[in-house]
Amino acid sequence: MNYVEYYTVVEGVNPSILKVKYTNNLINGIDIKIYNDEELDPTKCKLEIKFIVSNNVTSVEDALKTTLDTAHDIINLLSFNTEGKFGIPRRGRFNINGQGVVAIAQKPLYNLQNNEDLSQGLSNRLELSLSNNNLLADLKNNSYHRLYRAAMRTNDIIARFMFLYGIIFDIKTTQNLVDDYIQSIDPNVEMRKSTDPRKPNKDITKYTWLRNEIGHTRNVTDINKVKNEITEVCDGFAELVKGAI
């Protein structure tokens, strides 16, 4: 059987198995596994993408290029459709007409709890989206989508939050418009008084307040408290930013 495998690390997505019914002139199907790996931090999972490649393929180079391009599309779509943080796909084992690398050790998957409804729903979305060339091109070429994925790969939580705020600020152009957008999505968002001496007691969202506490640190700023708050809200804020793109 001809196949090519890719792998990366993911955070924020539950272990699952996805069967994606997708075909083109080289690919006959896609199997995706997200599972716990004892070598990784407990908060992270291993993601494996296996492409079943047509037996009619004649060029190893074409098979590897096509599957790599599609692997990037899948990572982009998973980032778009979930709250996960995905790494860059790396090629693992492959076999194309007897040529390839097949000796990389494979670990058995123990106690992989698969949510069938979640897996099937995500599989269906991937199947539809992989045929949507406009969406694939937007996720690949839109600079804000690229910046969003880069932000989500940032390990430091404060840096990630500030990166995300920079994206939405660039889209909306002012903090007032950022807050207007956030309030339009979440009318019950917590509002706080601005600590900016130029705008005393102005009502701003907690996201803008946290951004300003980091961007304009005061003598009385409790950085640890701010970091803890950012840790609590960063994932939700990421969804707000993604929705603004």
Q: Please check the confidence at residue 68 and state whether its pLDDT lies above 80.
A: yes
Give the number of C-alpha atoms closer than 13 A to the C-alpha of residue 101, restricted to the C-beta side: 10
Cα–Cα distances (Å) from 99 to 25, 52, 81, 93, in that order, read 19, 15, 35, 11
Q: Tally Cβ neighbours within 10 Å of residue 76.
A: 20
Q: For residue 94, what pLDDT is reported?
A: 93
The residue with greater pLDDT, 51 or 40, is 51
Q: For residue 113, what pLDDT is reported?
A: 52
**Stretch 54-77: mean pLDDT, rounded?**
93
Which residue type occupies 188?
A: N
Confidence of residue 103 (pLDDT cuts 50, 70, 90): low
Q: For residue 200, what pLDDT is reported?
A: 77
Q: State the sign of the Cα–Cα–Cα–Cα dihedral 195, 159, 39, 114.
A: positive
Q: For residue 109, what pLDDT is reported?
A: 45
pLDDT above 90: percentage of residues in the chain:
65
**Stretch 220-243: mean pLDDT, rounded?**
92
Q: For residue 66, what pLDDT is reported?
A: 93
Q: Please check the confidence at residue 98 and state whether its pLDDT lies above 80.
A: yes
Phi and psi at residue 83, to the nearest 5°: -100, 15
Distance CA 207, CA 169 (A): 12
Confidence of residue 157 (pLDDT cuts 50, 70, 90): very high
Helices 206-215 and 157-172 sit at what angle, rounded to 10 degrees?
A: 110
Bridge-based pairing of strands 90-96 and 2-11 is: antiparallel
Q: Tally Cβ neighbours within 10 Å of residue 156.
A: 10
Q: Please check the confidence at residue 107 and state whether its pLDDT lies above 80.
A: no
Confidence of residue 114 (pLDDT cuts 50, 70, 90): low
Distance CA 244, CA 168 (A): 7
